[in-house]
Structure 1
Amino acid sequence: MNVGRAKEIAESLEMISVTYEGSPVIIQHVDDNTKMARIYSKADPENEREVPVLNLIEE
């Protein structure tokens, strides 16, 4: 995924299906400079982490 699309999804009111390493995730924030996204798993919302935007897949 590219940074622009990740930001659109993060700001969207719609629930857009995104996965990271095969698991459904929510994008919380995207950093333009580092091209990293703060995400959390739908199954474990307490476990936030920073991952490369390129590794996110829109379903």
Structure 2
Amino acid sequence: MTRPPVPPFSFDDAVTKVRMAEDGWNERDPTKVALAYRPDTHWRNRSQFLNGRAEVEAFLT
């Protein structure tokens, strides 16, 4: 599944992509935020390490 905007980015596309990311985080819905990351994502939050989308979602919840 490809969601716009896709590379190569123009300046306006980049601004749109950043605003979409900000809007997703501002909704504060852990499920929606976690979907923005790959299923095999690796996160570091200070001394905590999260592996996979499920752990990211649980952490945000």
More helix by share: 2
More strand by share: 1
* Same fold at TM > 0.5: no
Larger radius of gyration: 2
Higher relative contact order (CA 8 A, sep 6+): 1
- Normalised to the residue count of structure 1, the TM-score between the two structures is 0.31
